[in-house]
Amino acid sequence: MTVGFTDIAALDASDPLRGFRDEFQLREGLIYLDGNSLGAAPRATAARIAEVVANQWGEGLITSWLGAEWSTAPQRIGDKIASLLGAKPGEIVAADSTSVNIFKALTAAISLRPQRSTILSEATNFPTDVYMMQGIEAFVGGRLRAVTVDPGAVLERLDNDVAVLLLTQVHYKSGLVRDMAEVTRRAHAKGIPVVWDLSYSAGAIPVDLNGANVDFAVGCGYKFLNGGPGAPAFIFVAERHQAATPVLSGWFGHSSPFAFEEDYRPATGIARFLCGTPQVLGLAALECGLDLMGRVDLAELRRKSLALGDLFIERMELRCAGFGFELISQRDAALRGSQVSFAHPHGYEIIQALKQRDVIGDFRAPDVLRFGLTPLYLRYADIVEAVERLRDICQTRACDSPDHRHRAAVT
Ligand SMILES: *Cc1c(COP(=O)(O)O)cnc(C)c1O
């Protein structure tokens, strides 16, 4: 797609998703290109949380575990996530953090292949994914080895010693999309179950878990699902693997939590992959994000996301050529998630200078500027304007200001 300046207003005016922006709380003037790290707040969320606190908690107190259906919220909300990801009801629960769910999925997968000794991933995976593998290796005292290989070498490394393969479908830095069905098929040919991390996929690109014959998957609630800071994550376990023995054998995964039996007896079905008490307030906020997403045409979402990405790249090449940006996302839209990333030696300083001009992107060490594209609340005009502000920073060398050099604890 090649778009001229004059077409931009027309694109926004005819955008079938344009109505969704008003459902989010977003200050006029701000261009928020970080919905891949923390999705914007749906307007409905504040009222919902207030209601849960005042009525369900404040008035209902402990009776709300049943009266307000708190105790089954992980399953109810999991089913809403399942409908977005090509999973069946009863294959997903919303609970815990993504890191904890990675642990649960990896250990369940390993229990299916007790004779094998390698946990495999790619070296540039999101750090927590690899850290969780390394923790399992340390815990079992060397019986399992956490191995990471170059991203391009993963398929060659699949052999009969691999107990589980852990991959992220959309790469957190570059946005490169892996072919989930094909990689899963190649792994299954060697008897390897796969855990897919969908942190940058859920709510961003079409996902068909059962169509791709996926074994296990995990993902975040606070990114493209707009569930709020620290929202509960989710875990998918294909029906055929739900008898695997979970290592995190908490009471909410027990067959009868309120019988207070002395011994652990795992629940049947996806409830087995719960652990402790559901995060009720976080789940209520997550449900607001999901109810909004449930009304979105996901094919339209993807189409607009790619059009925003193409426009971003085109404007960068037109307006910021010669300033040292190197595109590290795929130019081929089909291989790109809902983000566009560039490398630049002064990436950190540029991201800080952009914040001062009310454009929020993020920086990922060592040199990546990452711009998340959220079709529900971004307009084509926002992309054009963001690139203009970036050009101004480069032209006036605003990023050279010493205030921008100090690295904050969170980037
Ligand atoms: C964001 C992200 C996580 C985050 O894990 P938390 O436990 O929620 O902090 C994990 N994996 C990937 C690939 C991510 O993008």
Q: Is the pLDDT of residue 261 over 80?
A: yes
CB 364 within 8 A of CB 173: yes
Residue 99 in contact with ligand 1 by CB distance below 6 A? yes
Q: Which of 199, 224, 225, 364 to mutate to test the pocket of ligand 1 (most atoms within 8 A of CB)?
A: 199
Neighbour tally for 169: CB within 10 Å: 25
For residue 401, name the pLDDT band (cuts at 50, 70, 90): confident
The answer to whether residues 23 and 81 belong to one domain is: no
Query: Ligand 1 pocket, 102 CB below 6 A?
Result: no
Question: How is residue 151 written in tokens?
Answer: 């991203």
- Final residue before a domain boundary, out of 293, 308, 326: 293
Which residue has better confidence, 2 or 393?
Answer: 393
The whole domain housing 341 covers: 5-42+297-404
Q: Does the residue 370 lie in any domain? A: yes
Contacts of 342 (CB under 8 A, 6+ apart): 316, 325, 326, 327, 328, 329, 368, 369
User: Per the residue annotation, which of 20, 32, 103, 126 is the catalytic one?
Assistant: 126
Q: What is the mean pLDDT of residues 355-365?
A: 96
Contact 124 CB / ligand 1 (< 6 Å): no
Does the structure show a pLDDT above 90 at 323? yes
Q: Is 411 a domain residue?
A: no
**Using a 6 Å cutoff on CB, does residue 226 contact ligand 1?**
no
pLDDT band for position 93 (cuts 50, 70, 90): very high
pLDDT tens readout for residues 183-240 = 999 999 999 999 999 999 999 999 999 999 999 999 999 999 999 999 999 999 999 9
Mutate to test the pocket of ligand 1, among 99, 195, 222, 339 (most ligand atoms within 8 A of CB): 99
CB 377 within 8 A of CB 35: yes
Check if 197 is active-site: yes
Q: Is the pLDDT of residue 402 over 80?
A: no
- Residue 168 and residue 237 in one domain: yes
Q: How far is CA 36 from CA 223, 224, 242, 253, in A?
A: 5, 6, 30, 31
Q: Whose CA is nearest to atom 14 of ligand 1?
A: 199
Task: Indicate whether 253 and 154 sit together in one domain.
Answer: yes
- For 306, the token pair is 């790619």
Given 234, 267, 293, the domain boundary residue is 293
Whether 201 lines ligand 1, by a CB cut-off of 6 Å, is: no
Identify the pLDDT of residue 397. Answer: 86
What's the confidence (pLDDT) of residue 135?
97
Establish how many alpha carbons lie within 13 A of residue 296's alpha carbon, considering only the half-sphere containing its beta carbon: 33
In degrees rounded to 5, what are phi and psi of residue 360?
-105, 115
pLDDT interval class at 406 (50, 70, 90): confident
Same domain, 84 and 152: yes
Average pLDDT over residues 251-266: 96
Instruction: Give the three-class secondary structure for 40.
Output: coil
303 CB-near residues (< 8 Å, 6+ apart): none
Do 337 and 245 lie in one domain? The reply is no
Alpha helices in 171-328 (DSSP H): 180-188, 280-293, 298-319
Asked whether 126 lines ligand 1 (CB < 6 A), one says: yes
CATH number for position 127: 3.40.640.10
Q: How far apart are CA 252 and CA 199, in angstroms?
A: 24
Q: What angle do CA 211, 217, 222 make, to 5 degrees?
A: 115
Does residue 302 sit in the same domain as residue 200? no
State the pLDDT confidence band at 251, using cuts at 50, 70 and 90. very high
State the distance between the two ends of the chain, measured CA to CA, in whole angstroms.
Answer: 32
Residue 374 is assigned to a structural domain of this protein: yes
Residues 207 and 251 in one domain: yes
| Binding site membership of 342 for ligand 1 (Cβ less than 6 Å) | no
The mean pLDDT of 386-390, rounded to a whole number, is: 98
Among 119, 204, 143, 134, smallest CA distance to 169 is for 204
Encode 113-181 in three state secondary structure: CCCCCEEEEECCCCHHHHHHHHHHHHHCCCCCEEEEECHHHCHHHCCCCEEEEEEECECCCCCEECCHH
Q: Is the alpha carbon torsion for 13, 15, 19, 21 positive or negative?
A: negative
Is the model's pLDDT at 3 over the cut of 90?
no
Q: Identify whether 383 is part of a domain.
A: yes
Residue 126 among the catalytic residues: yes
Report pLDDT for 408: 79
Catalytic residue of the set 223, 315, 336, 364: 223
Q: Is residue 63 part of a domain?
A: no
What is the residue-averaged pLDDT of the chain?
96
Query: Are 185 and 269 part of one and the same domain?
Result: yes
- The alpha-carbon radius of gyration of the chain (Å, integer) is 22
Could you identify the atom of ligand 1 that is nearest to the CA of residue 233? 8
Give the chain's domain count.
2
Q: pLDDT exceeding 90 applies to what percent of the chain?
A: 94
Domain end call among 293, 323, 352: 293
| pLDDT band at 339; cut points 50, 70, 90 | very high
Among 368, 286, 386, residue whose Cα is nearest residue 328: 368
3-state secondary structure string across 188-217: HCCCCCEEEECCCCCCCCCCCCCCCCCCEE
Task: Report residue 104's pLDDT band, with 50, 70 and 90 as the boundaries.
Answer: very high
Residues 360-376 have a mean pLDDT of 96
Alpha-carbon distance of 218 to 100, in angstroms, equals: 10
49 in any annotated domain: no
Q: Is the CB of 172 under 6 A from ligand 1?
A: yes
Looking at this protein, which amino acid is placed at residue 330? Q
* 304 shares its domain with 289: no
Considering the domain architecture, whether residues 283 and 306 belong to the same structural domain is answered as no
Q: Is 129's C-beta closer than 6 angstroms to any atom of ligand 1?
A: yes
Q: Which pLDDT band holds residue 399 (cuts at 50, 70, 90)?
A: confident
Measured distance CA(284)–CA(73) in Å, rounded: 8
Joined together, the tokens standing for residue 231 give 């929202």
Written as one string, the DSSP assignment of 341-385 is EEE-TTHHHHHHHHHHTTEE-EEETTTEEEEE--TTT--HHHHHH
With cut-offs at 50, 70 and 90, classify the pLDDT of residue 407: confident
Q: State the pLDDT confidence band at 411, using cuts at 50, 70 and 90.
A: confident
Q: Is 397 left (phi over 0), alpha (psi -120 to 50) or beta?
A: left
pLDDT, tens only, 137-192: 999 988 999 999 999 999 999 999 999 999 999 999 999 999 999 999 999 999 99
In a domain, 61, yes or no: no
Concerning whether 223 is annotated as a catalytic residue, the answer is: yes
Nearest CA to ligand 1 atom 5: 98
Residue of 36, 99, 128 to test ligand 1 pocket, by largest number of atoms within 8 Å of CB? 128
Q: For residues 33-59, give the mean pLDDT.
A: 98
CATH number at residue 318: 3.90.1150.10
Are 22 and 94 within one domain? no
Same domain, yes or no: 325 and 370: yes
Task: With a cut of 60, say whether residue 129 has pLDDT above it.
Answer: yes
Ligand 1 and 329: CB distance under 6 A: no
For residue 270, the model assigns a pLDDT of: 98
User: Which percentage of the chain shows pLDDT scores above 70?
Assistant: 99
**Which residues fall within 8 angstroms of residue 43, CB to CB, at 6 or more apart?**
22, 23, 24, 25
Give me ligand 1 centre to Cα 198, in Å.
9
In a domain? residue 304? yes
**Which DSSP category does 394 fall into?**
H
pLDDT for 5 equals: 58
Pairwise pLDDT comparison (323 vs 398), residue with the higher score: 323
Segment 387-397 shows an average pLDDT of 95
Residue ID of nearest Cα to ligand 1 atom 4: 98
Q: How far, in Å, are 39, 125, 207, 222, 279 from residue 203 at the CA level?
A: 10, 20, 9, 10, 21
d(C-alpha 209, C-alpha 169), whole Å: 12
